[in-house]
Amino acid sequence: MTDRLMGVGSFSEGLYFWTHFPSNFSFSSASFNKTSLCNLTTNEKNFIMHSRMGHSTFFPYTQCSICPLAKQSHNLFPLGNTRANEILSLIHVDIWGPYHTANHEGSRYFLTIVDDCSRATWIFLMQSKGQAYSHLKTFITLSKNQFGKSIKRIRTDNGRKFFSHDCTSLFSSHGIQHESSCIYTPQQNGVVEHKHRHLLEVARALKFQAAIPDEYWGECVITAT
């Protein structure tokens, strides 16, 4: 901060081109380094791409301070080697939540549905776990009307919300087989558990990167999906 002229230049295509320097100026000076300035511009471009892709490892950026905040977790659960050979013949369903802050519409949970064959994913924000029944009913109708597919099996954890009278009657009326994991063993519902982890990592990265208020966490999850 000496108020001395360090150089004169112009900006073109994302780079600064310096054309004139004072006679007593040296490139070896600690106050200026032409190479590091060019590298900084490249790093900025890399970081922008890394950020826009939800801090994806496909666009690695080793100096990112957001990734450790968003992606720290327990060890991964191993996935099975088998997969359904027909779209929507088997879906994995689970509820995540509650989030410590309700979103601007009052939702604190979301229902996740993952197709076993294609890994296509749908989520539904919910104010309570009891809304899972209505969303499942809507999705079963959606799969028939929009995709011409009948759901044959639904795999969930052992949560009581999926064994309610309404859900049991719904599955039975459509001839759907309900498969559940053992109690206290969410690993057996690993497909949707892995999907939750991925969605939440990207959603947290988006929220941290853009400094979005907590009440918009639902929009971050929807964007991640």
Say if residue 116 is in the same domain as residue 142: yes
Say if residue 54 is in the same domain as residue 115: no
**Domain total for the chain?**
2
Which residue, among 99, 92, 204, 199, has the nearest Cα to 153 in the 3D structure?
92
Say if residue 211 is in the same domain as residue 100: yes
Say if residue 87 is in the same domain as residue 41: no
Per-residue pLDDT at 89 exceeds 80: yes
State how far the Cα of 225 lies from the Cα of 199, in Å rounded to an integer: 6
Are the C-beta atoms of 14 and 44 separated by less than 8 Å? no
Residue 37 in any domain: the answer is yes
Say if residue 93 is in the same domain as residue 151: yes
Say if residue 109 is in the same domain as residue 47: no
Residue 77 in any domain: the answer is no
Q: Name the pTM for this structure.
A: 0.65
State how far the Cα of 30 lies from the Cα of 21, in Å rounded to an integer: 15
Say if residue 96 is in the same domain as residue 166: yes
Say if residue 99 is in the same domain as residue 173: yes
Say if residue 18 is in the same domain as residue 115: no
Domain of residue 211, CATH code: 3.30.420.10
Say if residue 55 is in the same domain as residue 86: no
Which residue, among 109, 77, 114, has the nearest Cα to 95 in the 3D structure?
109
Say if residue 19 is in the same domain as residue 123: no
How many other C-beta atoms are found inside a 10 Å radius of the C-beta of residue 47? 17
Residue 58 in any domain: the answer is yes
pLDDT tens digits, 8-22: 777 777 676 766 666
pLDDT tens digits, 11-55: 777 676 766 666 665 544 444 444 444 444 567 777 877 888 888
- pLDDT averaged over the chain? 82
Residue 2 in any domain: the answer is no
Instruction: With cut-offs at 50, 70 and 90, classify the pLDDT of residue 140.
Output: very high
Domain that holds residue 50: 8-64
Question: Domain end: 64, 90, 107, which one?
Answer: 64
